[in-house]
A and B are shown apart, each in its own frame.
Chain A
Amino acid sequence: MKKQKLVVVGNGMAGIRTLEELLKLAPERYEITVFGAEPYPNYNRILLSPVLAGEMTIQDITLNPLEWYREHDIRLHLGKHVEQIDRRRRKVFTPDGIEVDYDRLLLATGSTPFMPPIPGIDLPGVISYRDIRDTDEMITTARSHRHAVVIGGGLLGLEAANGLRQRGMEVTVVHLMPWLMERQLDQAAADMLRISLEARGLKFLLEMQTEALIRGESGRVVALRFKDGHEIPADLVVVAAGIRPNTALAESARLYCNRGIVVNDTMQTYDPRIYAVGECVAHRGTVYGLVAPLFEQARVCANHLAHFGISRYTGTLTSTKLKVTGIDLFSAGDFGGGEGTDEIVLHDPSGGVYKKLVVKNDTLIGAVLYGDTADGAWYFKLVKEASNIREIRDHLMFGQNASLGDAVTAGQANVATMPDEAEVCGCNGVCKGAIVKAIRTHGLLTLEDVRKTTKASSSCGSCSGRVEQILAATVGSAYSPAGSRDKAVCGCTEHSHGDVREAIRSQHLLSISEVMQTLAWQTPNGCASCRPALNYYLISTWPGEAKDDPQSRFINERAHANIQKDGTYSVVPRMWGGLTTPSELRAIADVADKYQVPTVKMTGGARVDLLGIRKDDLPRVWADLGRAGMVSGHAYGKSLRTVKTCVGAEHCRFGTQRSMAMGVKLERMLFGMWSPHKVKLAVSGCPRNCAEAGIKDVGVIGVDSGYELHVAGNGGIKTEVAQFLCKVKNDDEVMEYAAAFLQLYREEGYYLERTCHYVARVGLDHVKAAVVDDPLRRRELHERLLFALQDYEDPWQQAVEQPARRREYEVIPLHEVTA
C-alpha cells in the first residue's frame, strides 16, 4: 500500500502527542512531515515555570529529542512558519519557498499570548511568557536588571512572577481584578495565596489598570504608569494577560473559526481532510488551555487518522494546580456555588489551610483547595464521575482516608513532604525518588505510564492513589487523572468495561472472536488483560450458550490450582462451611505423604492448603482427594472462595442461629460460581460475629429474630467494613437475598472489581432497589444465578476423567540421543 502524506503544522505537545498515538496504532500508514515555528524539538511547555525558577533545565523538559523524529522517519522543519494552505491542491507553503503536499493535514498551532493595546507594549523589555525564548530572556534580564512587573495575576503570571523572584528580581504583579486567579479560585483562597506569595517577597497591585509603558533613555522600558497617574519602575514587563487560539493560518485558508478553529467530535475541521487539536481549537464552543484535554483530543484524532474511526471526543473537565514550589493549590469544576448548591468550607487562616467543596444534588460539582491538596485527585475524580456522595458526605471534607486510617494508606496525605527514599510501592519496592526521577526523565504523564516504567502500583494497586499524587505534584496540570468512568479495558481497545458488557448483552455476542470483531479490537487476539475479562463477561451474560475459552483464563483458573513463585501449585480441597471429617483429614494427610507436599497450612478462609505440588501430579492428587469425596475449593479463582462460619447455635452457648448449617447451605448453592473477582462469605451465629462477617463480600449475622445481611466488605488491600443491606427472617431468605446480590454483582460488576468497589461505583441504593425493594427482581436474579450454576461440574473431576483436559497437565518427554 502506498503511504499517504500527513503534514502537521505545530511541533508542540498536542501535535506530537497525536503523532505518538498514531504511530502506536498505524506506524506504516503515513509519510509524516512536521513544521515547528520554534527552533526546538517538542518540549513540555508546562514545565517552563520550573525552568524559569531554576529547578529544571531545558534538557530536562525535552519530550521528543531529534533522534525520535529520525527513528520514525518524520521529516522535521524547525523554525519554519507555514503561512499558506492551498486546500484545493492540498499543499502547504512557507515564506521561504518550502511546499509540501498532503492527504491529511493536522493543525496544532497552539495559542498566542494576548498583548493588550497599551502604549509602549512593543518596547524592548516587554515580553510575553509562552516559549523557551521568553524564558531565556527573563533569565538573562534577571541577571542584569532589578525591577520586574508582571501584568496579569492568573496561573501563568504568578508562575512567571515566582520564577523571576527566585532569580533575584523585585517583582510586582499588577492585576485588573479584585483577587488573583479569579477563574480558578474564590476570594478566600486567593487571599491566602496572595499572603503567602507576599511572604516570599512578591508585591501585588490589585484592581489596577495600566495606562502606558514608559520608554527610558536606553530605548528599553523603564516604568509603568497606571490610570490613576502613579508610576512604578519596570526594567522588565511580562505580559500574562491571557492567551488567544492561534487561528491565523486556518482563517487565511477560510476554515471556519469561532474563537478557535471549530472542530467536531472526531477533531475534524469543516474541511474533512484537515484535523486540528490543542489550544487552537474550539470544540463544542470551548477552548482549552490546559494539557489534559489536549491529550484526550490527540488520542481521538490519532484514532481517526489511523482509520479506526471508533472514538469521539466529548469534552474534558479540567482541574488546575499551581506550579510554585511550596504552595499547594488545587481547583476543579464549578466552585462558584449558586442556586441549589451547598458549600462545605474549612478555613484556617493561620494554619494556611482552606478547603471549599461545592455539592449539588448529592454530587460534588467543584472544589478549591489551598494549603493541603493531597485529596485533590480524589475530589477531581468524584467531580468527573459525578459520583453519589450521600453516604460519605459527613466526612467528605476530611478526604479519602478519613474513614480508613489503616496501615496501608496512612501517610498518603503527605506525598509532598515524603523523603525521596520513602517506599511508595510495597509490592515492587519502588521509592518516591525513583518515581519522580522516572517521571522527569521519561516525561511520563499518566498513571499507566508510571506503572509501566517503574512498576509502582502495578501489582496490588493499593498505592495507586499515592503514585497519582506524586505524579500530580511532579508534573502539575499536565497530569491527567486515571480511573475515569470511560477508561478503556486495556491498550487493545478504546471501549470501556461498561461498553463491552453492554455490547455483549445487547448484541447477543457469544465468543471472544465475535466481541473482538464487533467492537473492532486493535490487536489480533487481545492480551492477558482483556481476554480473561471478555471470557468472564461472555460466560456470565450467556450461561450455557457462550463458550468458555480455557486459553483466555489466567493459569490458576485454567489449571484449577494456585500457581506459586517456583512454578509449583497449591491445592485447597473444599470443606463445606469449614466442616470436615476424620476420613477427609486422613485422605488429605495421605496425599501430603504420598506426593511429599512440603507445606501444609490453613488458609485465610480457614481451609487446608497443600503447597508445593508439581503440575503433573495435580490430576493424581485430585483423584485421591476425589475418592474421599472432596471437590475443588476454587481457592485459585475469581469465584466463590469460602463461606466461613462460627460454631453457632449448634454448640455455642451464645448462638442464636445455626450458622454452620447456614454456611454449608450457602456454600453448596454457590459452588462453581465465577464472578468478576473473588467472593468470600461468612456466617456468624450471633452479633459477637466470630466468623468476621463484617469484612466479607456477603456477611450474614444471626440475631434472635433472624439474620442481618451485610454486603461489600473487604479484608484485603483496602479494608472496608461491610454495609448493612437488610434484615431477613429465615434461612430461605438468606439464600435468596445473598444469591440476588451476588447475581447483580456478576451481571454488573467490571472484571477485577471486588464487591466493595462495585457497590462504591453504583451506590448501595441501587443495590437495595434491586435486591431488597423489588421482590420480583430479587427472585429473577436468584433464578438466573441458579440457572447459571445448575450444570456446573467439579473441574477436578473433569481433569481426572477426560483425557483432553488432562493433557494440560502432562509434560512431553524429549527423547534425546546420547552421543
Chain B
Amino acid sequence: MSDWLRVCLLTDIPPLGSRVAASTQGDIAIFRTADDRVFALHDSCPHKGGPLSQGIVHGETVTCPLHGWKVGLADGQAVAPDQGCARRFAVRLEGDTVWLQLA
C-alpha cells in the first residue's frame, strides 16, 4: 500500500462541493457532503469521461455535468438503470485535514 498524502483542509472544499487533486494517476475528485464526510473518485464519469468534480453533489451522489448520470460517491457505481463504475480512492479525515491514499 502506498502512503497517505495530505490533500487540503476540509474547509478548502465547499459543503456539497468538490475539489480536484492532480496525481500521477490522473485527476481525482474529492467530494464533501452536507454532513462533512469526504469521498474520492477518479474524476471521470463511467459514461463518457465527464469531470465528476464539476457536478452537483446531493446526498451521497454526484450528477455528472455532461449528461446527467448519477454516480454514488461511496462506491463509484452509476445509479441504475445506468451501469458503470468510477474508480474509488481511499480518503480520510483527520481533524480538519483530508488525507488520500493512491492505490
A residues apposed to B, CB below 8 Å: 452-453, 458-459, 523-528, 531-532, 550-552, 554-556, 559, 563, 565-567, 807, 810-817
Contact = CB atoms under 8 A, between A and B. Distances in A.
Given A453-B81, A812-B21, A555 B68 contact: no
Contact of B58 (A525, A554, A556): A525
B66 A526 contact: no
Contacts of A814: 5, 7, 21-23, 28, 100, 102
Nearest to A818: B24
B66 A523 contact: no
B54 A452 contact: no
A555 B54 contact: yes
A555 B65 contact: yes
7 contacts: A524-B59, A527-B58, A551-B16, A551-B17, A551-B57, A563-B65, A814-B23
Contacts of B12: 807, 812
Interface in B6-53: 6-8, 12, 14-17, 19-24, 27-28, 30, 34, 48-51
Contacts of A452: 81
Contact of B66 (A524, A531, A565): A565
A811 B27 CA distance: 9
B55 interface: yes
Nearest to B57: A551
A812 B59 CA distance: 24
Given A524-B59, A526-B58, A811-B22, 16 more contacts: A458-B68, A527-B63, A528-B68, A550-B17, A551-B57, A554-B56, A563-B65, A563-B66, A566-B49, A567-B49, A811-B21, A812-B7, A812-B20, A812-B30, A814-B5, A814-B102
B96 interface: no
B68 to A, nearest CB: 7
Nearest to B8: A812
**Which of A453, A527, A567 counts the most B-chain CB atoms under 10 A from its CB?**
A567
B20 A554 contact: no
Contacts of B58: 523-528, 531
A451 to B, nearest CB: 10
B30 to A, nearest CB: 8
B94 interface: no
Interface string B57-79: 11101010111101000000000
A811 B59 contact: no
Nearest to B12: A807
Closest 8 CB pairs of A and B: A528-B63, A528-B56, A567-B51, A555-B54, A551-B16, A555-B65, A812-B21, A814-B23
Contacts of B68: 458, 528
A497 B50 CA distance: 29
A549 B81 CA distance: 30
A812 B24 CA distance: 13
Contacts, number: 90
A802 to B, nearest CB: 14
A39 to B, nearest CB: 30
A554 B63 CA distance: 10
A556 B54 CA distance: 9
Interface of B: 3, 5-8, 12, 14-17, 19-24, 27-28, 30, 34, 48-51, 54-59, 61, 63, 65-68, 70, 81, 100, 102
Contact of B56 (A523, A531, A565, A816): A531
Contact of A552 (B51, B56, B81, B102): B56
A528 B21 contact: no
Contacts of B49: 566-567
Contacts of A527: 56, 58, 61, 63
Contacts of B54: 555, 559, 563, 567
Contacts of B81: 452-453
B41 to A, nearest CB: 14
Contacts of A523: 58-59
Nearest to A459: B67
A556 B49 CA distance: 17
Contacts of B102: 814, 816
B50 A567 contact: yes
Given A527-B63, A812-B7, A816-B102, A551 B56 contact: yes
A585 B101 CA distance: 47
B103 to A, nearest CB: 12
A551 B15 contact: yes
Contacts of A810: 19
B72 to A, nearest CB: 13
A752 to B, nearest CB: 13
A453 B21 CA distance: 33
A485 to B, nearest CB: 25
Contacts of A458: 68
Contacts of A532: 56
- Chain B CB count within 10 A is highest, among A452, A554, A807, A814, for A814
Given A550-B14, A551-B17, A812 B56 contact: no
B20 A811 contact: yes
B34 A524 contact: yes
B49 to A, nearest CB: 8
Contacts of A811: 19-22, 27
Contacts of B3: 817
B76 to A, nearest CB: 18
B31 to A, nearest CB: 11
A524, A550, A555: most-surrounded residue (chain B CB, <10 A): A555
A500 to B, nearest CB: 17
A525 B50 contact: no
A554 B22 contact: no
A524 B33 CA distance: 11
Contacts of A459: 67
A814 to B, nearest CB: 5
Contacts of A551: 14-17, 56-57
B12 to A, nearest CB: 7
A816 B5 contact: yes
B61 to A, nearest CB: 8
Which interface residue of A458, A559, A812 has the most chain B CB atoms within 10 A?
Answer: A812
Nearest to A809: B20
B18 to A, nearest CB: 9
Given A453-B81, A525-B34, A528-B68, A812 B19 contact: yes
A566 B54 CA distance: 12
A522 B34 CA distance: 15
Nearest to A616: B20
B20 A528 contact: no
B86 to A, nearest CB: 14
A526 B21 CA distance: 26
A525 B63 contact: no
B35 to A, nearest CB: 8
Contacts of B22: 811-814
A676 B65 CA distance: 19
Nearest to B17: A551
A239 to B, nearest CB: 42
A528 B48 CA distance: 18
Nearest to B16: A551
Contacts of B48: 565
Nearest to B28: A814
A815 B3 CA distance: 11
